[in-house]
Structure 1
Amino acid sequence: MYNRTMLFVSSNISSTQTGGGVCSMRNLELCEKILGLDNVEIYALNAFSFMGKSFFVKILSLLKAMFKLLMGYSNGSTWNTDKKIVQLIKEKGFDFVFIDSSLNGLLVKRIKTETTTQVICFFHNCEKNMVIGQWKTGSPLSILRLWAVIKNEKKTCKYADYIIALNKRDNNLIEKNYKRKVDLLLPISLKDTVKDKKIENRKIGSPKKGLFVGSYFFGNVDGLKMFIHNVLPHTDMQLTVVGKGMKKLNIDNSKVTIYDGVKSIASFYIDADFVIAPIVSGGGMKVKIAEAMMYGKKIVGTPEAFQGYEKIPCSYICETYSDFVETINSLSGFSYNTCVREYFLSDYETNTQVDSLKKIVL
Structure 2
Amino acid sequence: MILIMKNIYLMAFLLMIMVSSCRKIKTEQAFPEIKDQLETQQDVWTAERIEQIAKQKKDSIDRAKIDKPNEVDPNSLMNKKNILIAYVEVNNRAFKNVTCFLNDEGKPVIDLAWVFAPNININSGTKKAYITYNKQVQGLINKGYIRYVQSKGIKVGMTLLGNHDNAGFRNFKNLEEATDFAQHVAIEVRRLGLDAIDFDDEYSENPSWANNESFVMVVSEIKRLLPDKFVHCYIFGGASASSYKGKRMGDVADAGASAFYPQTPSPGSAGFPIERLFPSTKPFSGGGYPEATLRSLMAQGYKGIMMFDFNMFPNNYLDILKGYVKGVKEQNVIEIPGCVDRRESDDVNL
Q: Same fold (TM over 0.5)?
A: no
TM-score, structure 1 normalization: 0.28
Larger radius of gyration: 2
Using CA pairs under 8 Å that are at least 6 residues apart, name the structure with larger relative contact order, 1 or 2. Answer: 2
